[in-house]
Every structure is written in C-alpha cells, then in structure tokens.
C-alpha cells in the first residue's frame, strides 16, 4: 500500500519544455514513474525525453489517461496551470513552483477543492512512494521502502531526515513535502489522516517550521491517531517579523512561534526532537 501515488499513477508534466520541466521529467522517468505526457501550449506534437507534448491538459488527459500532474510553470502562470489541471479532471496536482502571488493561490486552491482534486504545494519538492513512483524534484536514490511515513514543510530537511533514516535501515512508506507557502493545497492534518489509514505506515515523522498554525492543528488531530508520531520544528531562533526561508515561515503578532508548536505537540504526546539525528533515534525506539 501507499498514499496518493504508486506504480499505476499516470503523470503529466505541465511546463515540460522548460529547463526544469525537461530535467525532472528525465529524472522521474529514470526512477520508474509513468510519465505519459507533457503540456505546453503551442508545442503540441513535439516530444521531450521521449514523452509526447500536448497543447492542453484536457487533450493530454483524454489521450493518455493521466490522473496526476506535476507543474513546472513559472510563477506568473502557475496558478492558471493549477486551475487548468483541476478543470480537466486531474485527481492529483503537484505544484513545484515557488513565488506564486498569495491572492492567486487563494483563488486557485479554492478552485481545486471545488472540483474534487487534490493539490500538493505550491513551493514543494513533491512526493514519493519508494520503489513505485516519484512526482517532483525529490532525490530518489536516498529513499528506500519501509514503514515510516514522512510529511514535511521543508524539502532540504526532508532529504537529511530520509538519508539518516536510510543509514539506520529505516525505510519510508510515502514521503510528502506539503510546501512552505502561506497558502497550500494539502496540510499536515490531511496527510496524517491518510497515513493513519495506510496499513503499511507504522509511524509518522512530521517536520514543521515556524509560521502559521498547521503544526498546532496537527497536534489536535494526532490525539485521535492510533499510530505514533515524532516531530521536529525548525526555526527556533527566528526573530519575530523576519521571514526564514519559506514565504510561510514567519512569526507575526506572537503567533507561529517554534515554542507554541513544540508545546502543542508535546501536550498531544508527540516527542519533539532537538536535532535531526534525534528524530531517527525516536523512530527507532518506537518500531
């Protein structure tokens, strides 16, 4: 079992003719992902990395049976690309793009929800079910199959945690980077609910950061879960009002602090690691 993606997932790449789209199409194909088409208006009929290119998502879906899309479209057009995918009936939309205006993302996220699709991101590394499918920019070589579900707001921290888990022989069921922007399509609570229902996932690692209330909301949900969760919160030394890395990683008005998140998770019975290595120790102790 896995959540959201597996070897049957049929993937489109929106923005496939650009540098990033082309490069990561090749990487996803090399991993074994079924990349069945690309989309770039005005480029229909071409091929990129052996993948046929279509002028629209609707046409691509009709001809390939795609049920997922990965978006490598520049910020000015990324919100429209998200809406186009949802309008065409794509079930899973993964937006890698960062720098999308917040107002546009508010509208796009609502549009996706209204059409029953799921959006991962934006400003995210994507997701992977090791040995089955990789959607996005995650470095596939560091992942291995196992019982640990990973959900994170930070791509870089995800890679470090996964690499150290692997060194200890602890593989992953599915790993999802939800994104670091203020407006994202899928939150911690949504992913935790999927992991709770996944029989292959035995424990969950939650990697949070300052800004927003997603971790506090997750803490309340975790009290209802049967599976153990361990966590890490980055940005403990961040000053108020200064953005740290992600657009959503900002403390404002005394909210979104590392301390408030740590307290909420601790109260829910979730151990909060002080270092990346300690995360691995906490996971190993509970398996």
For the annotated catalytic residues, the residue numbers are: 246
Tokens of 109: 């996220």
Grouping H, G, I as helix, E, B as strand and the rest as coil, residue 202 is coil
Please, are residues 90 and 37 in contact by the beta-carbon 8 Å criterion?
no
DSSP 239: P
Distances (CA, A) of 129 to 42, 65, 195, 242, 273: 33, 20, 12, 35, 25
DSSP 205: E
Please, are residues 112 and 122 in contact by the beta-carbon 8 Å criterion?
no
> Rounded to whole angstroms, how far apart are CA atoms 259 and 235?
10
**β-strand pairing of 10-14 with 229-234:** unpaired
How far the first Cα of the chain sits from its last, in Å, is: 18
> What are the DSSP calls for 128-192, one per residue?
EETTTEEEES--GGG--EEEEEEEES-HHHHHHHHHHHHHTT--EEEEEE--SSSS-SS-HHHHH
Distances (CA, A) of 213 to 65, 87, 92, 187, 210: 37, 30, 24, 10, 9
């Amino acid at each position: 079992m896995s959540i959201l993606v597996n070897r049957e997932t049929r993937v489109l790449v929106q923005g496939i003719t650009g540098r990033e789209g082309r490069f990561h199409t090749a990487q996803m194909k090399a991993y074994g992902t079924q990349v069945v088409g690309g989309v770039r208006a005005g480029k229909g009929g071409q091929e990129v990395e052996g993948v046929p290119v279509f002028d629209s998502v609707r046409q691509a879906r009709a001809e390939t049976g795609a049920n997922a899309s990965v978006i490598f479209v520049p910020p000015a057009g990324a919100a429209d690309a998200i809406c186009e995918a949802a309008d065409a009936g794509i079930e899973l939309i993964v937006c890698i793009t960062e720098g999308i205006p917040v107002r546009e993302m508010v509208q796009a996220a609502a549009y996706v929800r209204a059409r029953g699709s799921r959006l991962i991101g934006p400003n995210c590394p994507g997701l992977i079910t090791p040995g089955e499918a990789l959607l996005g920019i995650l470095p596939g070589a560091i992942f291995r199959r196992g019982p640990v579900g990973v959900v994170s707001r930070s791509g870089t921290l995800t890679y470090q945690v996964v690499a150290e888990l692997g060194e200890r022989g602890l593989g992953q069921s599915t790993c999802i980077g939800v994104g670091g922007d203020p407006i994202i399509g899928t939150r911690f609570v949504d992913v935790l609910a999927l992991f709770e229902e996944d029989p292959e996932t035995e424990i969950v690692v939650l990697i949070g950061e300052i800004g927003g209330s997603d971790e506090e909301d997750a803490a309340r949900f975790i009290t209802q879960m049967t599976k153990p969760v361990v966590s890490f919160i980055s940005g403990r030394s961040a000053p108020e009002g200064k953005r740290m890395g992600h657009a959503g990683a900002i403390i404002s008005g005394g909210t979104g602090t590392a301390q408030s998140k740590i307290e909420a998770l601790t109260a829910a019975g979730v151990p909060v690691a002080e270092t990346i290595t300690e995360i691995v120790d906490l996971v190993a102790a509970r398996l």
